[in-house]
Amino acid sequence: MLIPILGLIEAGGWRNLMAQITARAGADYTHLWATTGSFAANPMGVHWTGIVFGLGWVISFGYWTTDFLVVQRVLSANSLRSARLAPIIGSAFKMFVPFFVILPGLLALVLLKDPSGHLIQLYPDGSDMVLHHGAHSFNQVLPLMMVRYLGPGLLGLGITALIAGFMSGMAGNVSAFSTVWTYDIYGAYINRKASDSHYVLMGRWSTLIGMAVSVGTAYLVMSSASIMDYVQELFSFFIAPLFGTVILGMLWKRATKAGGFWGLLSGTVASVAMWEMVRLNKANIRFMILQPHASADTILRVQAMAANLYRAAWAWLICVAVTVVVSYCTKPTPEAQLTGLVYGSTIIPHDGSRNIFEKPIFWAIVVATVLFILNLWLW
Amino acid sequence: MTIPHPVDPSTEQSLSIWFFVGVLMLASGLIIFGQGIYEFWHPGSTVLANLHPAFWWGLLMTAFGLFYTIRFRPGKG
C-alpha cells in the first residue's frame, strides 16, 4: 500500500500522474474501456467483446465458481451466510488489487529514472536489452519501486509480504490438488475401500508430488510471455469449459451426465485446437475474433492475452452447446435424484440473516455499485 | 460408549486467529516504528524519506496490532 501512496505523492497527485502518463505513453494507458472500441486502438489488441464475454463472463465467473483454490475456502465456511459472504468479501478486496499491482507499474512509467536523470525504458523479460545490456524488465518494476521508497524495516516487511503472498497461493493450490486427487479421484474411482490412515498417507504423498509437479510447470511458463499469459491459457483450456458444465449442471434440470461429459470434453478439445491453430499460424486468430477480413496489422496487434479471452469465450460456448444438444438426445435424470444438486430441485434453507446488513445480497449490491463507479471513473 | 475427551472441557479455550494476526502486526509494527524513530536522527537515502514513512507506517501497524491483540486476547471469552 505504501508504494502507490508514496508514488502518488511524488507524482504530484492523481491528475498530475494521469497527465504525465498521457504525455509519455499515450492516453490508452489511463483508460479501462475508452480504447477498446477496436482491436487497433489499445496495446493489448483487444475489443471490448473479448473483455466482457471472455474475461468478465467466462474466465472470471469460472475462476470464482470452479477453481478449487477458491471453492475450498467457501466449503470450509461455518454457515450458509458465511459461505455466501466469502466470495463477496473476496470480490471487495479483489477490486482494489489494481491499485497495488497496476498503479505501481503506471507510476514507474513516469517516476523511475536512471542515474543521469532520464526516465528508465523498460523491456520484456528475456529481451536482448535485459539479457545483455543491463536494462530493466517490466517484471522488475515492483522490486525497483520498493527499493526506491522503502528503507530498512519497511523493505523487509514488503519482501516478507510478497513471499507470504506467493506461499499462501502455493499452499492453497497444493492443498487443493491433494484434496481433489485423494477424495475425488483416488478415493472415488481407484481405491474406494481403503482405511482413513491410508487416505491420509495418500494425501501427504500427493502434496509432495503436487509440489514437485508445480516446480516442473515453472519451466513451461518460460515459453509464455508472462505468468499471466500462461495462467490465462490454462484457464481457457480447462476453467472456461468447466464453467459451462458447472453452470448448466447447477441450474438446468434437463442436463444429463452424458451431456456434461461430452460438453466438457468438446469445449476443452476445441480450446486446445484453437490454441494450436493460432500457434501454427497467427493469421488464424482472425476467425477467433470474428474478423475474417482483418488486416495484417490488426492480426499483429492482437496479443496472446487477448487471444486467451476469445478462446475462453468460444470454449464455453462450445461446451454449453454440446451439453444442451447431447442432454436433449439422452434420457433425463429423474428429478428425485437431483435433490440437493440442482437449483430448482433443492430447498435452500434460510441463511440466518437477521437484518439487511447481514444479508449477502445487500453487500453484493454494494460491491456491484462500487465496481460500476470504479469502471465509470476509469472509463 | 463415549469417547473420552482429551482435554477437560471446563478448562478448554480456543485461541482466535485474530489474536495471532494482532501479535504479528504488533511485533512488525514495533520494529518498524523503532526504525522510524531512529531515522529522525539518521535519515535514510530513499525517495521521500523526509516524510518518515517507516515512523507513520510502524505507528499504524502498532495501533492495529494492539487493538487486535487486546480485543481477541485469550481468556476474554
Residues of A in contact with B45 (CB under 8 A): 151
> How many angstroms separate the CA atoms of A304 and A221, rounded?
14
Q: Read off the DSSP letter of residue A190.
A: I
pLDDT in the model for residue B10: 57
pLDDT in the model for residue A319: 94
Selected for mutation to probe chain B from A154, A159, A168 (highest B CB count within 10 Å) is: A154
Asked if residue B6 is part of any domain, the answer here is: no
Asked if residue B48 is part of any domain, the answer here is: yes
% of chain A surpassing 70 pLDDT: 100
Above 60 in pLDDT, residue B3?
no
pLDDT digits (tens, 9 = 90+) for A114-143: 778 788 887 777 777 878 887 888 778 888
pLDDT in the model for residue A349: 81
How many domains is chain B built from?
Answer: 1
Farthest CA pair distance, chain A:
75
% of chain A surpassing 90 pLDDT: 18
Q: How many CB atoms lie within 10 A of CB B75?
A: 6
> How many angstroms separate the CA atoms of A362 and A30, rounded?
31
pLDDT in the model for residue B7: 56
3-state secondary structure of A277: helix
Q: How many CB atoms lie within 10 A of CB A205?
A: 13
Q: What residues of chain A, 123 to 152, have a C-beta less than 8 Å from chain B?
A: 147-152
> Which stretches of chain A drop beneath a pLDDT of 50?
none
Q: Label residue A160 exposed, middle or buried (CB < 10 Å: 0-12, 13-18, 19+).
A: exposed
> How many angstroms separate the CA atoms of A330 and A59, rounded?
29
Q: What residues of chain B, 29 to 58, have a C-beta less than 8 Å from chain A?
A: 31-32, 34-36, 39, 44-49, 51, 53-54, 57-58
pLDDT digits (tens, 9 = 90+) for A25-58: 777 788 888 888 888 777 788 889 888 998 889 9
> How many angstroms separate the CA atoms of A332 and A283, rounded?
42
DSSP per position, A218-269: HHHHTTSSSHHHHHHHHIIIIIHHHHHHHHHHHH-TT--HHHHHHHHHHHHH
Give phi and psi for A113, each to the nearest 5: -125, 155
pLDDT digits (tens, 9 = 90+) for A303-330: 878 888 899 999 999 999 999 999 999 9
pLDDT in the model for residue A270: 93
> How many angstroms separate the CA atoms of A236 and A50, rounded?
12
Asked if residue B8 is part of any domain, the answer here is: no
pLDDT in the model for residue A243: 92
Above 70 in pLDDT, residue B8?
no
Q: Cell numbers 508472462 correspond to what residue? A: A226
Asked if residue B3 is part of any domain, the answer here is: no
Q: Which domain holds residue B48?
A: 16-71
pLDDT in the model for residue A258: 92
- Per-residue pLDDT band at B9 (split at 50, 70, 90): low
> How many angstroms separate the CA atoms of A309 and A317, rounded?
13
Test B51 with A2 for CB contact under 8 angstroms. no
pLDDT in the model for residue B77: 59
- Adjacent-strand bridge partners of A329: none
Selected for mutation to probe chain A from B28, B55, B59 (highest A CB count within 10 Å) is: B28
Smallest Cα distance from B35 to chain A, Å = 7
pLDDT digits (tens, 9 = 90+) for B13-68: 678 888 999 999 999 999 999 999 998 898 888 888 888 888 999 999 999 999 99
Asked if residue B53 is part of any domain, the answer here is: yes
3-state secondary structure of A123: strand
> How many angstroms separate the CA atoms of A58 and A51, rounded?
10
pLDDT in the model for residue B2: 52
Test A10 with B48 for CB contact under 8 angstroms. yes
3-state secondary structure of A294: coil
Asked if residue B37 is part of any domain, the answer here is: yes
Asked if residue B4 is part of any domain, the answer here is: no
Q: At what angle do helices A97-111 and A141-149 cross, to 10 degrees?
A: 80
Asked if residue B7 is part of any domain, the answer here is: no
pLDDT in the model for residue A105: 86
Residues of B in contact with A153 (CB under 8 A): 31-32, 34-36, 54, 58
Test A151 with B47 for CB contact under 8 angstroms. no
